[in-house]
Amino acid sequence: MPYFYFDTYYLFLVIPAVLIALLAQINVSATFKKYNAVRSSKGYTADEIARKILDDNGLYNVRIERVSGSLSDHYDPRSNVVRLSDSTYGSSSVGAIGVAAHEVGHAVQHSTGYFPIKIRQAVIPVTQIGSSLAIPLAILGIVMSWSLLTTVGILLFCAVVLFQLITLPVEFNASRRAVKTLEAQRILEGGELAGAKKVLRAAALTYVAALLVAVANLIRLIALSNRRR
């Protein structure tokens, strides 16, 4: 069986999707860099804003920690911690404040029982298995003409696609919560708020791109499986 049998789908499906994802990452980095240089007129730092929003929502038990890196910000529901990166923590830029408010939005989602985030949490165990084993199992099944193994691999990868799909409303909702809070409490106004929105919009596009890569890989696996049959 010639090597290009596998490479054709990868070349025309997966590689373009990966390039789009790379462009999305470059865009979010450039957008954040731009608005990380724009200081908030009120002088609040991102960690101060994060603490304020948490307290306003009664989430006094949620801690804020500093982690190394740039744009490595995230909310960890297991430890109940909002982790802000070096590029965000202590910064008074509108970009950093937008990112911090977004991550706090995830903490609020968990506390209010936001339904999509419950689904995402439920599929994480299967997704962790699928992200590492799905493609190797499916390809091995195709090579060995073992349809059951191929089917298992494809089903596992479906969980990965589902995770990426559910991530979209979760991330979009966290950004909407962030913008609404920043605007309602007049933490950012005018051009400052517009800058924070652009940062969050650019970040959202990276999740869309990640879904595109996952779908491209799934289509590739299904196409290879059907062609083998």
Tell me, what's the pLDDT at 7? 64
pLDDT value at residue 1: 45
171 catalytically annotated: no
The pLDDT of residue 229:
62
Looking at residue 228, its pLDDT comes to 66
pLDDT averaged over consecutive 10-residue blocks of the chain (229 residues)? 59 95 98 97 96 98 96 95 97 98 98 95 92 94 92 96 97 98 96 98 98 96 83
Q: How far apart are CA 81 and CA 69, in angstroms?
A: 17
Distances (CA, A) of 229 to 1, 7, 120, 152: 13, 18, 33, 16
State residue 95's pLDDT score. 98
How much is the pTM?
Answer: 0.91
- Tell me which of 103, 171, 189, 192 is the catalytic residue: 103
